Amino acid sequence: MSFSGFDDQRVEQVIPNDGFWPNLQLSDFQSEYRLPAEYESEMIVSHILTAIIRTNAQLVRWKALYQPSYPAMQDVPAYSLGDVKVTQINYQRAVFCLAKSLLLQQFATVDRRSAAANPEKEGEATASQFQEYHDHAIADFLGRGRINVEAL
């Protein structure tokens, strides 16, 4: 049980990916990103899959560069922290932050009682912050700065 009084709702489920990008664990997302207890696991999985699709699309050039020589992202040489490569950390963070952003935008449809209103759970600013975290993780993954400037 958590400090909130809700039972621990973590679900051990593998979220499949395309073979090059790593599979992810639903329980990792649930424990690391502290989702509201009102979310059903099916809804969470659906939004993680959407986040995987969008993240993979952003990294398509990186994949095209390395896939001919390496069968999976984990095989690409990268700096490691212990047994975990930084690319894995940044990839998972990108997907999970985007998934949380998408889920936070859905909170208003999960519980609409005025007594249950919580701007931190359903506020646009919080969802936007997680979108920004996603963007930072993509930039970190690609080894780019977090500020982009484009000529108009």
Work out how many domains the chain is built from and give that number: 1
Residue 129 makes CB contacts below 8 A (sequence gap 6+) with none
Q: Distance between CA 124 and CA 88 in Å, rounded?
A: 28
Query: The whole model's pTM is what?
Result: 0.82
Residue 94 lies in a domain: yes
pLDDT one-digit tens code per residue, 69-92: 999 999 999 999 999 999 999 999
Q: Distance between CA 104 and CA 34 in Å, rounded?
A: 11
Residue 114 lies in a domain: yes
pLDDT one-digit tens code per residue, 29-52: 998 988 777 788 899 999 999 999
What residue numbers bound the domain in which 129 lies? 14-142
